[in-house]
Amino acid sequence: MADQYERSAEFVDVMIAPHWAALGPPLAKALRGVTGPVVDVGAGGGHGTRVIAEAVPAAEIVAVEPSPALRSVLLTRVHESAALRDRVTVLPEGLLEAKLPQRLGAVVAMNVIGHFDPAARQEIWALLGERLAPGGRAVLNLQPPAEPVAVPESRMADVRIGRRRYEGWARAEPAGPGRITWHMTYRTYHDDRLADELQVAYDWWVLSEQRLKVELDGHGLVPALVEPGVYAVDRGDA
């Protein structure tokens, strides 16, 4: 699997950190009462893994992260925390290739569903329908746009570390049915002078709430809104 974050990993983890200030509370709320094991799908550098560990005390956590670059951030974050080191297992495969526990207490897929094409999404919903334990739950978020449309460039991050300031810019363009291409620009300023600029692009499969409901329904799964964009997915027979 190609590592789409190979060149941007150094920026991605620090730039996604502020978003977790908003995502952490609804995720923790949605996980209330679940038991382990909990799978963190595309754990990235582990901001969400940390939220899961606090929200579901003592649960085993399986953090799946195929990007070697982001996985090294994740392993470091897990290793440096005594609270995480003993119960987080990091797997290097993609979700659909990873060997997961047979019964799953919860599956968390934050900021990641767009990496899966429609056929792969069906495999994920099937996995949830078959392997979520009774009372188990998945939590996921959908990010705009919900349709394959152009998104004008905007600054999505501005982080100062020491004498350097890191800006992240994003724009998207349609790339076919259900798909957009994100174009990311990362600019590094040293004492406010441009020192470096990196451009990367990756594909993203868009998904609307309506489409999500239809797809989940086909697998006996029901989504409930936790807060705008964040969904708790339960088995219909739960």
Measure the CA–CA gap between 140 and 138, rounded to whole angstroms: 7
> Tokens 């049915």, residue?
177
Q: Is 67 in the site for ligand SAM (CB under 6 A)?
A: yes
Tell me how far, at minimum, the Cβ of 115 lies from ligand SAM, in Å. Answer: 4
CB of 217 to ligand SAM, least distance (A): 23
What is the Cα–Cα distance from 51 to 94, expressed in whole angstroms?
A: 21
| Cα-only R_g, the chain | 18
Contact (CB, 8 A) for 70 and 44: yes
Q: Does 148 bind ligand SAM (CB under 6 A)?
A: no
**206 contributes a contact to ligand SAM by CB under 6 A:** no
Identity of the residue, 81 or 189, whose beta carbon is nearer to ligand SAM in the bound complex: 81
Q: Does 125 bind ligand SAM (CB under 6 A)?
A: no
Q: State the nearest-atom distance from the C-beta of 48 to ligand SAM, in Å.
A: 5
Cβ at position 154, least distance to ligand SAM in Å: 17
Smallest separation, CB 210 to ligand SAM (Å): 23
Q: State the DSSP H helix or E strand holding residue 62, giving kind and residue range, or none if neither.
A: strand 61-64
92 near ligand SAM (CB under 6 A)? no
Which range, of 30-38, 63-71, 83-91, 145-153, touches ligand SAM by CB under 6 A?
63-71
3-class DSSP state of 13: helix
Single residue of 51, 95, 138, 226 touching ligand SAM by CB under 6 A = 95
Reading the block at residue 66, the tokens are: 């195929």
How many whole angstroms separate alpha carbon 75 and alpha carbon 171? 30
Distance CA 108, CA 226 (A): 13
Using DSSP's 3-state secondary structure scheme, residue 145 falls into coil
Binding residues for ligand SAM, per CB under 6 A?
5, 16, 41-44, 47-48, 64-67, 70, 94-95, 110-112, 115
